[in-house]
Structure 1
Amino acid sequence: MLSCKEATELVSKSMDTQLPWRERLALRLHLALCGMCRKYRMQLRMMQKVIQKSSAEDWLPPVHLSEEAKQRILNHFKSER
């Protein structure tokens, strides 16, 4: 039987890749018995959905540059070529 620490690590890993069948089975058994780990998995899934639905503009503050600053940046990139 998995510990909660092992189960939460597998829950996290399963968000990125498919687990081998033995790990999937062990995790399913643990989740069937452990409400706290089920809640952890549910919270991770909710966070993943929120992040997927949002865009970079939602997370980054707006940037306002003067025309002079924009020109300096463009000139810098042109000189790098």
Structure 2
Amino acid sequence: MLNCWSATKLASDSLDRKLTLVERMRLGTHLAMCPACRRFSRQAADLRQLSRLYCSVPDDLSRPSETDSER
């Protein structure tokens, strides 16, 4: 069975590459039993999605304008 360090490493790797069948099975087994690693896996995926959304916003919309901060 994976330890938490190895599980979080695999969860992070899964965002960048397709895991092998054995890796997916080992990670899935660990995540089924470990709420902390499940939370890490969800948060890493959420952070990736939010980062992509932030990067897709046009530059002039991503920062408040001077008039917005004066209100």
TM-score (norm 2): 0.77
Alpha-carbon displacement from aligned partner over 1:27-77 (angstroms, at most 9, x marks no partner): 000000000000000110110111111127338xxxxxxxxxxxxxxxxxx
Alignment of 1:1-81 (within 5 A): 1-55=1-55, 57=59, 58=62
**Structure 1 segments (4+ residues) deviating >4 Å:** none
Percent of counterpart pairs with the same letter? Answer: 34
Report the count of equivalent residues: 59
Task: Note the residue ranges of structure 2 that are not aligned, 5 or more in a row.
Answer: 64-71
CA distance in 1, matches of 2:3, 2:40: 14
Amino acid at match of 1:12: S
TM-score (norm 1): 0.68
